[in-house]
Amino acid sequence: MALTLVLAVATFYACKEDAPKIIQNANSGGALGTSYHLIYQSETQLDFQKEIDSVFEVVNRSLSTYLLDSDISKINEGDSTIVVDIMFKEVFELSKEIHGKTKGFFDPTVGVLVNAWGFGPGNRLQMDSTVVDSLMQYVGFEKVTLTDTRTIQKSDPQLRFDFNAIAKGYAIDRLAVLMDEKGIENYLLEVGGEVVAKGENKIKKKPWTAGIEDPQAEAGRRLKRAIHLKDRALASSGNYRKFRIDSLTGKKYVHTINPKTGFTQNSSTLGTNVLAKTCAEADAYATAFMAMDLDEVIDLLETEKELDAYIVYLNEAGESKEYMTEGFRKLILD
């Protein structure tokens, strides 16, 4: 019996010594007009900064409306000869799918309105119903086509793309592909508040966690919820930080533009948070949900079972309320 105990103890300590040490590798910086923080765990010291920079660069070259020589900028200026890359193709096709599922509330052809309202790289206009009506003829995802030769056809040359409501999420997905190709099984990738998580935190032996910001925090940042996150993506949208105040009238204009009306959307929805398989999907749906009525969002969530959501809104009495799917509720940390 004593010999058996000694052997068992020796085996236990041998296993502990043989267990590989987990190293937490991290990269952070600025990209896509925001900041990023990437954590990836492995058994050896790694640094993928060069590859990470390359991902951001190729995404920008394809999809950034702030680079004059990007593919999307050239297309927006009327160049119909551009053969788009696979990234542009994937974002275009996913946008078309989500445009249909949200009944047009997600529409990347709002670029002309984004500029006009002062939220894009173009010139801001003095907006009223007459100007909005004149610009709405250049909005509608059904007015653009991706051909078999990967060129873009527009029904009117003034139609302009703005993929900013999906491109950041897509960039994080490309970073996740990078990690997968490098054989990394446990990582937490965050860019501008959007997150993709895979596996778990092996060092702490706990699931990865992500915070949900309180959209009613008057100053600074305050967490409203925290959730476990594994093999899923999280994206959020809200008007609590992205808005501008007209210097002459003092009127507040939020960054959410309703593609069906052409006006900025001052709705009762304060913030949306969406979980999906990919961050591009989560990003796009979170944006669309800001423009949709809550009843419309709930109806969509009942059919799209792979999505989960947490929404903060004001009821008719002006009281802060929450809606969340059961799948989201199960992930909340007590």
Q: Where are the domains of the chain?
A: 77-162
Per-residue model confidence (pLDDT) at position 255: 56
Residue 239: per-residue pLDDT: 62
Residues 8-42 pLDDT 10s: 444 444 444 556 799 999 999 999 999 999 999 99
| Stretch 214-228: mean pLDDT | 77
Q: Residue 113 half-sphere exposure, CB side, CA atoms within 13 Å? A: 29
Phi and psi angles of residue 264, each rounded to the nearest 5 degrees, phi first: -65, 150
pTM of the model: 0.86
On the question of pLDDT at 334 being above 80, the answer is: no
Residue 119 pLDDT > 90: no
pLDDT at 263: 81
**Does residue 128 register a pLDDT over 90?**
no
Rounded mean pLDDT of 85-105? 97
Question: Is 101's pLDDT higher than 90?
Answer: yes
| Strand pairing class (34-42; 252-254) | unpaired
Q: ∠229-299-214 over CA atoms, to 5°?
A: 45
How confident is the model at residue 10, as a pLDDT? 44
268/241: higher pLDDT:
268
Binned at pLDDT 50, 70 and 90, residue 244 comes out as very low
Alpha-carbon distances, residue 102 vs 83, 169, 253, 291, 314 (angstroms)? 28, 18, 23, 10, 22
Q: Output the CA–CA distances (angstroms, integers) from residue 291 to 106, 130, 161, 193, in the order listed.
A: 9, 21, 18, 20
What average pLDDT does this structure show over 319-331? 94
User: Considering the chain, what is the average pLDDT of its residues?
Assistant: 87
| Spatial separation of the C-alpha atoms in residues 228 and 221, rounded to whole Å | 20
Residues 77-162, CATH architecture: Orthogonal Bundle (1.10)
Q: Does residue 4 contact residue 12 with C-beta atoms inside 8 Å?
A: no
Please provide residue 109's backbone torsions phi and psi, each rounded to the nearest 5 degrees. Answer: -90, 15
Cα distance between residue 56 and residue 31, in whole Å: 7
